[in-house]
Amino acid sequence: MPDRVIGRIKRVNGPVVEAMGVSDAMMFELVRVGEENLVGEIVKLEGENAIIQVYEDTTGIAPEDPIYGSGEPLSVELAPGLIGNIYDGIQRPLEEIRAISGIYIKRGIRVDSVDKSKKWHFVPSVSEGQDIHEGMIIGTVRETERVEHRILVPYRINGKLKSIMPEGDYTVEETIAVVQTENGDRNISMLQKWPIRKPRPVSERLPLDIPLITGQRVIDTLFPVAKGGTVAIPGGFGTGKTMTQQALAKWCDADIIVYIGCGERGNEMTDVLTEFPELIDPRTGKTLMERTILIANTSNMPVSAREASIYTGVTLAEYYRDQGYHVAIMADSTSRWAEALRELSGRMEEMPAEEGFPAYLPTRIAEFYERAGYMKTISGKDGSVTIIGAVSPPGGDFSEPVTQHTKRFVRCFWALDRGLANARHYPAISWLDSYSEYLDDIAAWWERNVGPDWKKDRSEIMDLLQREVRLQQVVKLVGPDALPDSQRFILEVCTLFKNAFLQQNAFDKIDMYSTVEKQARMLHVILTYWRRGSEAIKHGATLIKLKKMKVYQDIVKMKFSIPNDDIEAFNKLEARLERSFDQLESIYER
């Protein structure tokens, strides 16, 4: 426990504590407040007064109680053992806390974020006498069956490797290497710390031209996100934000998942904590927790810890990015984080802006999303952090400040639609209000890896969906029977596309995940039906005849009937489709 008293409490206002007589303190310094040593952080300094944001319940602390300084900012511990853990907003392991204090978190409790007694099998990858630079990988540890933990040289350590331990078992605090620098010898262990509000440095930013494959057709085909990209998922209560993020966590091709439950209801977070360990990673057959870190900061936990939780999560993600991994962050929900900012700002008596949010809300949102990116790391490896943030606008109003400011700083927007959710159409992502600015960036990847028709086919189906909206307005006035078959066919194809392609069943073993090859072939089959059907109608065929073709039902069922690896089945389906139209057209050409 720090024993350096830097000041005394002057006033307590919920999680905000005003201190007096403060000396030898710095901004964002980690402090302990009162005799119970509550965790806090200095957020404002003015003369000998300071404003402290306390991350625990402040009940019982009083004026004149001491404040102890640590001399360092609020930081997270980075070492093997992070994967599979469940933390609160300031990286306290909840399982270990429960073992000590029961189901309630005792105030002032101090638990190591990583197990300091566990030994890890270290395999060195450098040799004595070698030049060492910051961010360099000097060895590896098998953290889980899926994740190889790469031990990095801490920043600002450059020199010549004086000694390194042989392959063997060591704790995270044991010295595994000694580097001779200009300022003397520096010991390196597997444990390092990093301030959560400071982005970890990289060598350079790389173009975002590789898609994050999610297996969800409405996302990958219509509104894709690149690795290192940013996404907002806005939606009202019950529209499926958490469900969508859980599906992405399970199926996306990121190496590491960091799931941040930021201010969500306790029962929702309980579902996440109980379901995630039971979910099976489809790539390894092992539990999904072998590549997942959970941060749980529910709505009944201290509001200030909620404000810190997303910085904790993104710092852990950057650490694994620096090892050369692709990391996806699920932040659920940034609206609750913004509400925490609003409450803390009000208690600090700052001037409010729109809807009571602080004037610096856009800056904080930008700082968070700017930590995403596809990077060339200092170690020389490529890694990425993709941020997928849920937004919970009150009443589903997308014009409120958090949603509007978030739209300014993200390049992908998956708008959830209540009408689709009520109709049990999942994922309930609106194809009218959503957009992705990564289409041109990743088009070359689709052409190389899937086929040359993806961008053209996507544009054609999006055009059909737009035409359907205009026709639906006419249908509301005069009914569908007043439309000619050529226009009614547009409505029919769009309905087919929504039911046979966009809607996805998370409980069906075949339909829960679609490879990009299957997605492209499904879309091509539907568009072939549209193109040939339009020609057939021009030659006199009726819409009823088109719907009565036997192959039509095969198209409707293809998402359930054709497995991901059976591409030959799509060739046969397309061949049957072409033969059916050839037979139909031959009748009307006589």
Tell me 287's DSSP state. B
Residue 263 above 90 pLDDT?
A: no
> Scanning the structure block, which residue is given the tokens 């444990």?
191
Domains parsed from the chain with CATH numbers: 4-72 (2.40.30.20), 115-190 (2.40.50.100), 204-438 (3.40.50.300), 454-589 (1.10.1140.10)
What's the confidence (pLDDT) of residue 566?
A: 92
pTM for this entry: 0.93
Residue 2 above 60 pLDDT?
A: no
Q: How confident is the model at residue 100 (pLDDT cuts 50, 70, 90)?
A: confident
Q: How confident is the model at residue 339 (pLDDT cuts 50, 70, 90)?
A: very high
CA distance 294 to 326: 17
Mean pLDDT value of segment 141-160: 93
pLDDT tens column, 430-453: 999 999 999 999 999 999 999 999
Between strands 256-262 and 292-297, the pairing is: parallel
Q: Is 509 exposed, middle or buried (0-12, 13-18, 19+ CB in 10 A)?
A: exposed
pLDDT tens column, 22-73: 988 999 999 999 988 999 999 999 999 999 999 988 888 999 999 999 989 9
The share of the chain scoring above pLDDT 90, in percent, equals 73
Instruction: Give the sheet arrangement for strand 159-164, strand by strand.
Output: 131-132, 159-164, 177-181, 184-188
Residue 127 above 90 pLDDT?
A: yes
Three-class secondary structure of residue 137 per DSSP: strand
Residue 186 above 80 pLDDT?
A: yes
Mean pLDDT value of segment 563-578: 94
- pLDDT mean across residues, the chain: 91
What's the confidence (pLDDT) of residue 189?
A: 96
CA distance 302 to 55: 6
Mean pLDDT value of segment 514-526: 96
Q: How confident is the model at residue 3 (pLDDT cuts 50, 70, 90)?
A: low
Q: Which two structure tokens, joined as six digits, stand for 301?
A: 């936990």
Residue 104 above 80 pLDDT?
A: no
Higher pLDDT, 318 or 239: 318
Residue 267 above 80 pLDDT?
A: no
Q: What is the CA radius of gyration of the chain?
A: 28
Q: Is 165 exposed, middle or buried (0-12, 13-18, 19+ CB in 10 A)?
A: middle
Q: What single-letter amino acid sits at 286?
A: K
What's the confidence (pLDDT) of residue 126?
A: 94
Tell me which long-range contacts 512-516 makes (C-beta under 8 A, separation of at least 24): 512/215, 512/251, 513/215, 513/251, 513/282, 513/564, 514/215, 514/216, 514/217, 514/220, 514/559, 514/564, 515/215, 515/564, 515/565, 516/213, 516/220, 516/446, 516/449, 516/450
Question: Is the separation of the CB atoms in 308 and 89 below 8 Å?
Answer: yes
- Cβ of 466: how many Cβ atoms within 10 Å? 12
Closest Cα to residue 330, out of 295, 367, 365, 290?
Answer: 295
What's the confidence (pLDDT) of residue 506?
A: 86
Residue 1 above 50 pLDDT?
A: no
